[in-house]
Chain A
Amino acid sequence: MTARGTASRYLGSVLRNGLGRYVCQLQRLSLAFSPGGQSSRGARGYIEEKVLDFAKQNPGVVVYVTPQKCRSPTVVAEYLNGAVREEIIADKTVAEITQLVQKLANQSGLEIIRIRKPFHTDNPSIQGQWHPFTNKPSTLPGQSLRRLEQQPNKV
Chain B
Amino acid sequence: MATARGLVRAWRRLRLGVPPRRALWGGLRKKVKEPEEVETAVLVKEPPILVCPPPRSRKYLPPEDLQSRLESHVREIFGPSLSEDWQKASLKESKLKYHLLAQLAAELGHAVPNSQLHQMCTAGDVLAFYSTQVKDASKFDELCTAELPSNLKIMWEY
Which chain A residues have a beta carbon within 8 Å of chain B's beta carbons?
A: 35, 47-48, 51-52, 55-56, 58-69
Contact status B155-A59, CB under 8 Å: no
Q: Decide if B152 is an interface residue (CB 8 Å cutoff).
A: yes
Q: Which of B139, B151, B156 contacts A48 (CB 8 A)?
A: B139
Contact status A55-B158, CB under 8 Å: no
What's the count of A-B pairs with C-beta under 8 Å? 42
Which chain B residues have a beta carbon within 8 Å of chain A's beta carbons?
A: 139-140, 143, 148-156, 158
In the assembled complex, which residues on chain A have CB atoms less than 8 Å from the CB atom of B153?
Answer: 62-65
Whether A67 touches B158, Cβ cut-off 8 Å, given contacts A47-B143, A48-B139, A48-B143, is yes
Provide the bound-state CA to CA distance between A55 and B152, in Å: 6
Whether A65 touches B151, Cβ cut-off 8 Å, given contacts A47-B143, A48-B139, A52-B143, is no
Interface of A is mostly: mixed
Q: Which of A48, A52, A58, A60 contacts B148 (CB 8 A)?
A: A52
**19 A–B contacts, CB within 8 A, in A order:** A35-B140, A47-B140, A47-B143, A48-B139, A48-B140, A48-B143, A52-B148, A52-B152, A55-B148, A55-B149, A56-B149, A58-B151, A59-B151, A62-B151, A63-B151, A63-B152, A64-B155, A65-B153, A65-B154
Instruction: Give the 9 A-B residue pairs with the shortest CB-CB distance, closest first.
Output: A55-B152, A65-B154, A48-B139, A63-B152, A55-B149, A66-B155, A62-B151, A68-B158, A64-B153
